[in-house]
Amino acid sequence: MCKEDSIIEDLNNLNATTISEAVWNKLYEAKCMDLGLPCKSDKQQERFVTQMMLNQREDRLSFRDQGMSFQSANIIGKTLIGHNDNLQKIDLSCN
């Protein structure tokens, strides 16, 4: 299974109000690719996932100041497709 198929499978398993930790982990990997950094540190990844999960609300997602670009945008877009009808705001500022 290729990486993109894995992402799509994870996205298909989302419930209506939360994004799974597996998707946040994939977003972290994409962010590292966007920044040209190796994804070595489990501690950094855990901190990123925890912060993203804390910033997640039923009606909004915040990706503010995360240094995200094309790879991350691909994951975010796939996450949003059919995910949550209640989503009203996505903060992508300072990326």
0.85 surpassed by pTM? no
Q: Residue 2 has what pLDDT?
A: 56
pLDDT in tens, the chain (95 residues): 555 555 555 545 444 457 788 889 999 999 999 999 998 888 999 999 988 888 777 778 888 888 899 999 999 888 887 565 667 888 889 98
Q: Give domain limits for the chain.
A: 3-91
